[in-house]
Structure 1
Amino acid sequence: MSWPLHLDVFGAESAPAVVLLHPIATRAEAWRLQIPVLARRFRVIVPDLPGHGRSAALPPGAALHDYAAAVLLALEPLGLREFSLAGLSFGGMVAQAMALAAPSRIRRLVLAHCGAVTPAPVRAVWQQRVADAQAGGMAQQVRPTLDRWFTPDFLARAPATTDWIGRMVADTSVTGYTTAVHAICGLDHIASLGRLEMPTLVIAGQQDRAVSPAVSQALAACIQHAELRLMADAAHMSHVEQAATFTETVDAFLSP
């Protein structure tokens, strides 16, 4: 079985490859602030994850390993023997599953604003969000999502930027969102992550209310060669709120 994923590719074909995986309820476009910088030295590959943007949704009940398999399959025509991988939030959960499925192909790994497991209280929160989305549509999810993802200061001083992110949330299909939430609720990589040996960078936001720094620290502790970087003035979307710092940090970590 296969599901077509849309891929955007930037940079020289001969350059080292890096795959960027976006958060839930966004699409490849969410990496637009990083792509021009990273593409100077890397071949940057940015998929729309299943059920997001221009990519078809996976069947209901799909797990994180199904998302990982869909991305790996979409990369096959590019002929990549190895690549670095960066994922943020839901994208970071999928990146974990990809690294576990194909560890020999992942040169370096960046996991931003995500944990290794979804505990029961958090699963209940996600299930309520699904119920709200099914009842009122994704437009009703925009305001609470932005409030979780950004600091109040950034929301006040960057309304055009946060509206850009909010429009991606509103454009996401309820089906794609619901299937992704089901996969998030099944996240539990704690017992497996110790097998990973590639250099790994875990990024956390000091003001992240969606995934606390403690959760990111616990994720880093599961991985043998992981380092933790705390973004002092950012919430959940540090790649937007602290775009230059995030991009420079990732670029330096991924550089050969």
Structure 2
Amino acid sequence: MMSTTLQLSDPFGTVAYREVGQGEPLILIHGVGMQSAAWEPQIEVQSRTHRVIALDMPGHGGSDQLPDGAELPDYVAWLHSAVEGLKLRSVNLAGHSMGALISGGYTVMHPEKVTRVALLNGVYCRTAQARAAVEARAAEIREGAFDLDTPLNRWFGDSPTDRAARQQVSAWLSAVDPAGYAAAYSAFAKGDATYADGFADIACPLLALTGEDDPNSTPEMARAMAETARNGRTVVLQGHRHMVNLTDPQAVNAALRDWLQTPATRKETA
């Protein structure tokens, strides 16, 4: 599947994306260090019933980086520019990890644009200890330190499926632009509570899905997001960690299919 680029409004530059299928739009946003190709198992299945648009996050894949110092609200504004540039009246929105932070923030800020939102391996209101650890990693990355094995060991187990997915993810992490990676990770480190107060106002169907053994995007976080939203549902995949869309694509696709079939109720704005 070929990647396409679209010029966005200033200061967002160009966004690269993969598009296939017809029907209601489903936008997919990956996590830090990944690219739109990481959604391949979901693109293949969900495009049978939906118009799937998988975006490269700023500074990743073929998308331009955001200006220096960008924080989570800037990534949310980037997404809004992409939705407007694609001339989409409303969207189903699914994000993984950093993509989940962007998706949740976008749903809080633009409820009239979101039909349904799915947050895969999202973070939500970290403990003080967890926040300090991730901010320390962000500072190291900004200084140029990049330890490939640390995230991979955290994200994957030792099953044959995990080992195969780890090899592909390792290739994506190795190819990512260091500046884009550092910028996105800094926003990720500081963004876990940015839009948390707005989750109680999310009226559309919200799916919060994570792996039972994900130490950073925990089942407790997923349950808190789903319970805070008005129409939330939690799915926890037993025996899986952070990259569930690659290590258990069948279960993830089944959960997304159920979510996409949930009757839509979203908050309209004047």
Q: Fold-level match, TM-score > 0.5?
A: yes
The letter for the 2-side match of 1:127 is: E
Structure 2 unaligned regions, length at least 5: 1-9, 264-270
TM-aligned CA distance change 1:165 to 1:60, over 3 Å: same
Q: What residue number does 1:83 align with?
A: 91
Give 1:130 shift: 3.2
CA contact (8 A) 1:118 1:186 kept: no
- Equivalent of 1:117, from 121, 125, 139? 125
Structure 1 unaligned regions, length at least 5: none
Aligned equivalents of 2:128 and 2:59: distance in 1? 24
1:236 partner SS = coil
Worse overlay, 37-46 or 201-210:
201-210
Q: What residue number does 1:175 align with?
A: 179
| 1:33-60 deviation line (CA, Å, top 9, x unaligned) | 1111100000001110111111111122
- Equivalent of 1:237, from 237, 240, 243? 243
Aligned equivalents of 1:17 and 1:57: distance in 2? 25
Q: What residue number does 1:62 align with?
A: 70
Percent identity reads: 27
Give 1:76 shift: 2.1
TM-aligned CA distance change 1:158 to 1:190, over 3 Å: closer
The letter for the 2-side match of 1:8 is: R
State the TM-score, normalized to the length of structure 2: 0.86
Give 1:116 shift: 2.5
- Equivalent of 2:191, from 164, 186, 189? 186
Worse overlay, 86-95 or 124-133:
124-133
CA contact (8 A) 2:125 2:221 kept: no
Give 1:135 shift: 5.2
Give 1:157 shift: 5.2
Q: CA RMSD in A?
A: 1.8
Worse overlay, 126-135 or 240-249:
126-135
Q: Which has the higher helix share?
A: 1
What is the total number of aligned residue pairs between the two structures? 250
Give 1:80 shift: 1.2
| 1:216-237 deviation line (CA, Å, top 9, x unaligned) | 2122222111011111121111
Give 1:123 shift: 3.1
State the TM-score, normalized to the length of structure 1: 0.91
The letter for the 2-side match of 1:133 is: I
